[in-house]
Structure 1
Amino acid sequence: ARELIGHVEAMAVAANAFNRAASADSAVAAGTVRLTCGQLLGVEVLPPLLRTLRRSHPQLAMELSVSNRLQALALQEADVAVRIRRPNESSVVTRKVGDLHVGLYATPELLAEQGVPDSIVHLKDFPLIGPDRNLAEIELLQQQGFDCASERTLIRTDDHLAQLAALRAGLGIGVCSSQLAQRYGLVRVLPQQVGFDVDVWVAMHQDMRRVPRVAVVFEAVGSGLADFLTTPSASVGR
């Protein structure tokens, strides 16, 4: 059964490669491009970039798949992907566009009301926002000294958009990128003790380099994200 599944997948990859080659005939950046991205960047960052892209290339149409589930480029589930870790798929062209600088943040109102923690230990006296069942994120934060299992973690969710919304609502101290924190006026907490970088990559199948519409989206999204990641206070594409 496993051999049969592998054979079917190989046939699908070959068929998709043929389709990609056939679609490379047009020299004009026109048609539909499917772009996949995680929820946070897909909702908070990509729409202004796509608006700028559409102004430059009005014949482009976009299918935006906003999901934290990885979609296979080789199987043509997407043409271009934005990933927060380096893609390890074969036959994929990648470009690192920068880093999300992640730390602990809170609203000014919350800190004015409850004070500012001066140590990791002091966090136990503050309401916290953290992941729920995402073991990789829980382990990463625990390595930084942020105890997601604490009884003071009053909001637990694996949805990054929900975490950001809870932060902005002043429900507690939680994780955010410096880029989005500056946009929403959040204040950094314990900057010398909690912080890490997350790689951001764009990727496409190597066959797609010859397809103008896909190559244009790959370049525009990569450049736009690079601008956003290196200029935290900028509103990219606006």
Structure 2
Amino acid sequence: MDSPPSPDWNHIRAFLATAEEGSLSAAARSLGLTQPTLSRQVAALETELGVMLFERVGRALVLTQAGQQLLDQGRQMGKAATALTLSASGQANAIEGTVRITASDILSAHVLPPVLHHLRRIAPNLKVDMVATNDIRDLMKREADIAIRHVRPDQPDLIARLVHEGNAHFYAASSYLDRRGRPQAPADLPGHDFVGFGDNAEMIAYAQGLNLEITPEQFHIGSRNGLVAWELVRSGFGIAPMYTKVAEQTAGIERVLPWVDILRFPFWLTTHREVHTSRKIRLVFDHLAEALSNQS
């Protein structure tokens, strides 16, 4: 019996763009197609596979269960296609120039170095300029080529991909907890200090959403520089939330406030639409997407 024909790669690419962009119009712009053409390609893929990949909820397109399953497989195909193209033409080694990546200082120092080591082995002639800042860089003004953000940008000319959902908890140094005690219930909080990571009012409001009652008087020290603030926590000045992966790498730190649920925050990988025409940006974008999606 003859095997069924394989889906057209252009149709899969249209599906991936629609899933990542969230609308046919945005996906069409990202691929340089007209919306009717892209819509026909997605419909053709549904016909080829015999499943419905999207359902419309209001004005938004939402993946069906079949679409979600295909999304992961399609992304793997996209990575494989990019890798095959680079390998076949020797482009990875030939890629050169500078790519500017912006991320928070914490991610830049604690999470990205192993990722960049691997990138350097893949593209040894590529230069990476890390812009470590907690401000949102403006990609449209080319202050950076690729950004790792914890909020999805709303500019229509940017490509944003949700690549990871991180876990965080509240932590404090063992030295601090030995002095001040280990809080086991909400009633213990008034006797503890917190270290500020920037805007204390925002942190207090966020804590209230977690049913944590803390006050401005509990913030005696802090810094908008994440590395400095985390060092203040490690040095025993108080309690603060932190990405679990970073906290687990830090000696002398304990998880506290056990009654608080796990905190979750997204990792959005963002770039401008040059990702479709620049080999070096595409290489770095795909590499970061794969590495961050595999974060434990």
Under a length normalisation based on structure 1, what TM-score does the superposition of the two structures give? 0.76
> What's 1:158 paired with?
224
> What's 2:265 paired with?
198
**Greater share of helix:** 2
Q: What's the CA shift string for 1:44-63, capped at 9, x where partnerless?
A: 22223212211211010112
Give percent identity, aligned residues only: 26
C-alpha separation in 2, matches of 1:81 and 1:46: 12
> What's 1:223 paired with?
290
Out of 274, 277, 284, which is 1:207 matched to? 274
State yes or no: 1:120 paired with 2:186: yes
Give the superposition deviation at 1:77: 2.2
> What's 1:36 paired with?
102
Cα gap change, 1:157/1:121 in structure 2, threshold over 3 Å: closer, same or farther?
farther
Cα gap change, 1:168/1:94 in structure 2, threshold over 3 Å: closer, same or farther?
same
C-alpha separation in 2, matches of 1:180 and 1:75: 31
Are the counterparts in 1 of residues 190 and 214 from structure 2 also a CA contact under 8 Å? no
- The number of residues matched between the two structures is 204
C-alpha separation in 1, matches of 2:207 and 2:190: 15
Counterpart amino acid of residue 197 in structure 1: R
> What's 2:116 paired with?
50
Counterpart amino acid of residue 280 in structure 2: R
> What's 1:73 paired with?
139
State yes or no: 1:169 paired with 2:210: no
Give the superposition deviation at 1:195: 4.0
Cα gap change, 1:110/1:223 in structure 2, threshold over 3 Å: closer, same or farther?
same
> What's 2:83 paired with?
none
Counterpart amino acid of residue 292 in structure 2: L
Are the counterparts in 2 of residues 131 and 148 from structure 1 also a CA contact under 8 Å? no
State yes or no: 1:102 paired with 2:168: yes
C-alpha separation in 1, matches of 2:284 and 2:162: 15
Are the counterparts in 2 of residues 120 and 193 from structure 1 also a CA contact under 8 Å? no
SS, match of residue 106 in structure 1:
strand
> What's 2:130 paired with?
64
C-alpha separation in 2, matches of 1:177 and 1:48: 17
List alignment gaps of at least 5 residues for structure 2: 1-89
Give the superposition deviation at 1:205: 1.3
> What's 1:133 paired with?
199
State yes or no: 1:144 paired with 2:144: no
C-alpha separation in 2, matches of 1:191 and 1:143: 16
Structure with greater Cα Rg: 2
C-alpha separation in 1, matches of 2:196 and 2:235: 14
Give the superposition deviation at 1:177: 1.5
RMSD of aligned residue pairs (Cα, Å): 2.3
Counterpart amino acid of residue 168 in structure 2: V
Counterpart amino acid of residue 161 in structure 1: L
Counterpart amino acid of residue 149 in structure 2: R
Q: What's the CA shift string for 1:131-155, capped at 9, x where partnerless?
A: 4535433321232244553433222
The within-5 A match list for 1:84-95 is 84-95=150-161
Are the counterparts in 2 of residues 34 and 80 from structure 1 also a CA contact under 8 Å? yes
SS, match of residue 180 in structure 1:
helix
Cα gap change, 1:99/1:191 in structure 2, threshold over 3 Å: closer, same or farther?
farther
The within-5 A match list for 1:173-184 is 173-184=239-250
Counterpart amino acid of residue 286 in structure 2: E
Are the counterparts in 1 of residues 201 and 216 from structure 2 also a CA contact under 8 Å? no
Give the superposition deviation at 1:224: 2.1
Counterpart amino acid of residue 162 in structure 2: K
